[in-house]
A = this chain, B = another copy of it.
Amino acid sequence: METLHVVKVGGAVVEDAQKLERLLQSFAALPGRKLLVHGGGRAATALSARLGIETRMVGGRRITDAATLETVVMVYGGLVNKSLVARLQALGIPAAGLCGADFDCVRSVKRPVGEVDYGFVGDIVSVDAGALSRLLEAGTVPVIAPITHDGAGQLLNTNADAMASAVAAALSKYYAVSLKLCFEKPGVLADPADDGSVIPVLAAADIPALTASGTLSGGMLPKVEGALKALEQGVGEVVITSYNALAGGTRVCL
């Protein structure tokens, strides 16, 4: 099977011009088939503030009313996505920006109202790996915004990590997928204050002890959980690494 690199980059990198340029250059240098999934939450929060729309987060998830949905569609699907595509094109990468509605490639269902009403938040139900694979085989580099649709005309706000995991898992049918989750740090750190303390291999069996000791905490927990889920769904390799070189980092193993 051919290798496919699925790279996920979050808002903190996307919104820092220098870091973004490094990420895009590293991404452009990756050999073979590749695909980028991006976030952009901070820019959405900033635009909401300018529009006088209150941002409400519950457990790290954005409560998405109709006005907030418009904002995230504009920021993720428009501004961030098209800016990334234009910059990749300038680097000679044949990029095409997509959200889940384009080519009907990622469908979701509006999250049922439970204790919390998340509003127009979509949980992914299907990925059309065939549609994405046809683009990849035509030499295209998809750049995917975390917006999905329900097939009945409704756009839905979707978590970018969930988008990356679902796309990586679905494409494992056709490729040996290497999923790289990029952020500001060089990997999972044994000592959060020391960037030189990257844990090179993180096995599922080690996670309870590392969580109990506080080595894994905060935003790293869902990242590691997402990595394990992707591996369980057939993704060949998951690495938590820096935007800087897309090399090194922490390889997560079952």
Contacts and interface: CB of A to CB of B under 8 A. Distances in A.
| Interface size grouping (class) on chain A | 35 or more
Contacts of A149: 85-86, 89
Q: What's the dominant secondary structure at chain A's contact region? A: helix
Interface string A65-91: 000001001111111011101110110
Contacts of A151: 89-90
B74 A89 contact: no
Contact of A73 (B83, B90, B140): B83
Copies of the protein in its oligomer: 2
Interface stretch (A93-101, A207-215, A225-233, A244-252): A93-101
A103 B94 contact: yes
A30 interface: no
Contacts of A83: 73, 155
Contact of A74 (B78, B87, B152): B78
A147 interface: yes
Interface in A178-194: none
A60 interface: no
Q: Which of A50, A97, A102, A152 has the most B CB atoms < 10 Å from its CB?
A: A102
A98 B147 CA distance: 15
A85 B104 CA distance: 9
Given A82-B147, A86-B149, 15 more contacts: A51-B51, A73-B78, A73-B83, A74-B74, A74-B75, A74-B79, A77-B77, A77-B78, A77-B82, A85-B102, A86-B154, A89-B101, A94-B104, A96-B98, A97-B102
